[in-house]
Amino acid sequence: MHTGSVICRLRKRRNRPVIASKSAEKLIDEFVDCGVAARCRARLHGTPRYMSRQASIPTSATSSQRADRADRVEQDWRDPRELQIHRPQVRRDVPYVPTDDAVVGAMLDLAQVSDHDVLYDLGCGDGRIVHAAAKRGARAVGVDVDLQRIHECQENCKRMGLSRRASFLHKSFFDVDLSEATVVTLYLLPSINLKLRPKLLWDLRPGARVVSNNFDMKEWPPDATATMNYRILYKWTIPAWVQGRWNCVVDEGHETRRGRRWRLGLNLARHFQRVRGSAFVSGQEVTLMEGRICGDQISFTLWHPQHFLPAMHFIGHLRGNILRGTCRAKAADGLDGPAMAWGGVRR
Ligand SMILES: C[S@@+](CC[C@H](N)C(=O)[O-])C[C@H]1O[C@@H](n2cnc3c(N)ncnc32)[C@H](O)[C@@H]1O
């Protein structure tokens, strides 16, 4: 009998339930010294293919020779998974739990996602947030370490015809460059939010929004919250790096008319969206009150019996090292008096 015919006979059995019958065993023994027999044995007994090399030990050998050879074969043929021939899976920091569709909609509403946005969903699961953002016209990117989820995302994306606006990265979210994102969505864990916090503050541009489902960022308070299906959704706006020393000028004229000008020095420190520090007017130090920064919009109040009475409320926006804005006297029931222009440069 030829090897070919044995293979044919065994192949015919392939789709049937395999029973290690006596005749099949005999058939294999006839070709026991060739690799085919080893594979056949493996199929019959369910031995993994990489272990089936043992079957190639000739039956003619004495039992001690056989044991010796089997031992060597055993040493040569280790399970490749043990040898880590396959790349180890990237560590998964959060288990997969999908966000329900109503909450997805509420998250995108809270972030005010529009067709001007680039949204990143960190740990995208089956891609439902990415798909919903793409449907609103945004360019959306999903990031996940789970390859199976990424394939699922891509298939769903094709089926929905969103491939032009949605894409997926098989990566850890700690290794992704977020500098182009204007919106980041999270449904992770409190500890992972905290680990991601410095990356978000560093990578994202001022004004970018971060929305998290159910988990906050500890001492970084949210700028807004919403609730949906018993979930709290948190929103933060990335604050600009306003800290430093600023040389400013206030112009008391209003609208097009130029007025008296006076100098104002600012020494600012930022802690998340809170701004603290001092202002210097005519050699006097005045402590900043109610200092805040939301994206690139700064606001603070100055009060001093000699220089700022009534108190003055300043608002301005920051572009790199330039600050520009307006200030007005503050009355008990709101802002009062004409708006005066102010501006400054960072020293
Ligand atoms: C709770 S699920 C959220 C899924 C999706 N964002 C949603 O809201 O429906 C978290 C996802 O994060 C992924 N994940 C966990 N650790 C990760 C990591 N280090 N980098 C990227 N993705 C990760 C998991 O595979 C899982 O799909």
Which residue owns the Cα nearest ligand 1 atom 25? 146
What's the pLDDT at 202? 95
Domain boundary among 24, 55, 83: 83
Question: Does 88 map to a domain?
Answer: no
Residues 257 and 149 occupy one common structural domain = no
- Cα gap 233→106, rounded to integer Å: 8
Q: How far is the CA of 103 from the centre of ligand 1 (A)?
A: 16
The tally of domains found in the chain comes to 3
Q: How far is CA 200 from the centre of its chain?
A: 9
Contact call for residues 153 and 168 (beta carbons, < 8 A): yes
- Cα gap 291→342, rounded to integer Å: 16
Residues 109 and 39 occupy one common structural domain = no
Query: CATH number for the domain including 293?
Result: 2.40.160.90
Residues 48 and 109 occupy one common structural domain = no
Domain boundary among 237, 265, 287: 237
Q: What is the pLDDT of residues 65-74, one digit of tens each?
A: 766 766 665 5
Query: CATH number for the domain including 130?
Result: 3.40.50.150
Residues 124 and 12 occupy one common structural domain = no
**Which tokens is 308 given?**
């700022």
Q: How far is the CA of 95 from the centre of ligand 1 (A)?
A: 7
- Cα gap 55→317, rounded to integer Å: 77
Dihedral sign for Cα atoms in the order 169, 174, 178, 181: positive
Domain that holds residue 166: 101-237
| pLDDT > 50? residue 311 | yes
The answer to whether the bond into 310 is cis (omega within 30° of 0) is yes
**Is the CB–ligand 1 distance for residue 103 below 6 Å?**
no
Average confidence score pLDDT of the chain: 82
Mean pLDDT of 17-45: 49
Question: Does 189 map to a domain?
Answer: yes
Question: Does 332 map to a domain?
Answer: yes
Residues 121 and 212 occupy one common structural domain = yes
Residues 249 and 218 occupy one common structural domain = no
Candidates 89, 90, 94, 173: which one to mutate for ligand 1, based on the most atoms within 8 Å of Cβ? 94
| pLDDT > 60? residue 107 | yes
Which residue owns the Cα nearest ligand 1 atom 23? 123
Question: Does 26 map to a domain?
Answer: yes
- Alpha-carbon distances, residue 197 vs 2, 225, 233, 237, 297 (angstroms): 68, 18, 16, 12, 21
What's the pLDDT at 307? 75
Residues 267 and 179 occupy one common structural domain = no
Q: What is the pLDDT of residues 130-172, one digit of tens each?
A: 999 999 999 999 999 999 999 999 999 999 999 999 999 999 9
Question: Does 92 map to a domain?
Answer: no
Residues 205 and 252 occupy one common structural domain = no
Global pTM reads 0.74
Question: Does 317 map to a domain?
Answer: yes
Residues 137 and 194 occupy one common structural domain = yes
Q: How far is the CA of 223 from the centre of ligand 1 (A)?
A: 24
What's the pLDDT at 4? 46
Q: What is the pLDDT of residues 192-228, one digit of tens each?
A: 999 999 999 999 999 999 999 999 999 999 999 999 9
Residues 69 and 188 occupy one common structural domain = no
- Cα gap 145→173, rounded to integer Å: 8
Question: Does 53 map to a domain?
Answer: yes
Which residue owns the Cα nearest ligand 1 atom 18? 172
Question: Does 89 map to a domain?
Answer: no
Which residue owns the Cα nearest ligand 1 atom 1? 97
Residues 116 and 191 occupy one common structural domain = yes
Following CA atoms 278, 279, 280, 286 in sequence, which dihedral angle do they give, to the nearest 10 degrees?
A: -70
Residues 107 and 202 occupy one common structural domain = yes
Specify the ligand 1 atom closest to the Cα of 125: 27
Which residue owns the Cα nearest ligand 1 atom 26? 96
Domain boundary among 237, 266, 291: 237
Contact call for residues 234 and 251 (beta carbons, < 8 A): no
Weakest-pLDDT range from 17-21, 100-104, 257-261: 17-21
